[in-house]
Structure 1
């Protein structure tokens, strides 16, 4: 291996070096570039963010017209990505305009900022309290449901429960960070969305579509079940009340009158039962007032007569052979 004009490679040249992990500064730089992109570009239409701008439950920013085009019926919409790509970006978080909140930025046209208006002039978004320019370098939040945008520092320092712009009341859970980078903030927003969904509310704190119908349906089911239970209970009570007079007649006892506390909790069933028992008692009272029936008594021998009549009664007399017929 020598004197042939070649070279002998060393081990350092043969073994590939392992990929190095990015440094902290590189990670921060990549994160800043990503934040800059999402602060200036709509991920659905890939166009610059221009007012009106909306945000979903995890703090992402979109052009409102792009959301409207996505929500329009049809497979494809002009000006935005395909439906499948939009679904992959939104991850099912936006099913209607109630799932987004329109943001209200304080605009400073003299400074310039992360976006531009229709005339090409750069407009700046600033915090109305601290006057800091909002963007990737300043952590920003907005309030639900009013949508006013502030720097997190202003909200943290003021420590109020009303919006500083419109005096709309809000809670700490409804302070939404814009494009959050911390994992704790992301998990908090996901937990908030799940909690609102359980309460039948959307991200904008409006009632979710169909929640009233489901509630009415649930009430209808419960009322139907209650009606079926009441009818079954009334049928059972009526059958038992109809059986009691028959058994009482056979045993020679009178039908017990229903007491005021029948043990029936349903008012309609208790009223129906009382009405049935009252009708039964009325029938008995009428029978007693009419007295004995003479036609029926003539068929039987009275228990007080010791000597039967010559021919006997209808039930006891038999067939007698005439005297002339005997041999």
Structure 2
């Protein structure tokens, strides 16, 4: 190119410096900014966190009204992200209100006064929360935890120094595994909380230590099956003649169906017997002459059949 004042820049001119990995200070600053944002805004509604506030099993904070709108059936709720975005944020951890704990913060009453001394002056910051034991402000600069199931919030330092098995606020008993870190950045704490959630799910419990939906029905069904099996066993034991034949039939059914549990195999045998009895009744009804006389056979149907048999046939 010439005489027009234009130029083609080279890569060396465009890329002055090579990409560098962020320094430790930069990583810490990024984490601090993320923590500040998570302590200030609800990720579902993108609004400021305001009581009542709830937390899931990994210690994330949400506005309770946003969680309620997400759980309501129907289209996307007003004031929150789309259902798909909320599902991506929650990662399946919140399926009902039993999967969250409402947190009970100690409010710093001194912040009700403006720093200049004028009472009830407008404030630019959110409601202040403090640890009721150490009086430290809870936020991104202080590691905070809450207890399950009561939901009282403390600084991690207070719980670590005052070791006990009861809440210092409400005297509610708790265990060490039910001390949940709030918005933790440690990978070990995250893995511990995830493992706790899996363990509770295997036990049929939710994050709030309440029964998971459907667990009572399964337990009730299992109890009824066990009761039926025990009653069947008592009948068999009272009748010595049928004991051997019944046990043989149950064993045959268990071996043929691959069922090793005696109670389940006996229940299966009884269901099969009822089905066979129904088939016999239907067969007897088809073979009954009085009933079959009302219908005409396909191969032997007469053209001059009466109105009762016209248009009807049986196999």
Distance 1:120 1:109, change over 3 A: farther
Query: Is 2:210 the counterpart of 1:200?
Result: no
Distance in 1 (alpha carbons) for counterparts of 2:243 and 2:7: 111
What's 2:190 paired with?
186
Q: Give CA deviations for 1:193-217 in whole Å, capped at 9, x if unaligned.
A: 1111111111111111211111011
Residue 238 of structure 1: how far off its partner (Å): 3.8
Distance in 2 (alpha carbons) for counterparts of 1:104 and 1:31: 25
Residue 109 of structure 1: how far off its partner (Å): 3.4
**Structure ID, larger Rg:** 1
Residue 153 of structure 1: how far off its partner (Å): 0.5
User: In 2, are the aligned partners of 1:43 and 1:62 still within 8 Å (CA)?
Assistant: yes
TM-score by length of 1: 0.65
TM-score by length of 2: 0.67
What's 2:35 paired with?
35
RMSD: 3.2
Counting matched residue pairs gives: 237
Distance 1:41 1:230, change over 3 A: same
Distance 1:232 1:130, change over 3 A: same
Residue 225 of structure 1: how far off its partner (Å): 4.0
User: In 2, are the aligned partners of 1:109 and 1:123 still within 8 Å (CA)?
Assistant: no
What's 1:166 paired with?
170
Distance 1:120 1:52, change over 3 A: farther
User: In 2, are the aligned partners of 1:57 and 1:93 still within 8 Å (CA)?
Assistant: yes
Distance in 2 (alpha carbons) for counterparts of 1:92 and 1:125: 29
What's 1:70 paired with?
70
User: In 1, are the aligned partners of 2:236 and 2:242 still within 8 Å (CA)?
Assistant: no
Q: Give CA deviations for 1:29-63 in whole Å, capped at 9, x if unaligned.
A: 00000000010000000000000000000000000
Equivalent of residue 237 in structure 1, options 232, 238, 241: 241
In the alignment, structure 2 segments of 5+ residues that lack a partner are: 113-121, 246-315
Residue 111 of structure 1: how far off its partner (Å): 3.0
What's 1:157 paired with?
161
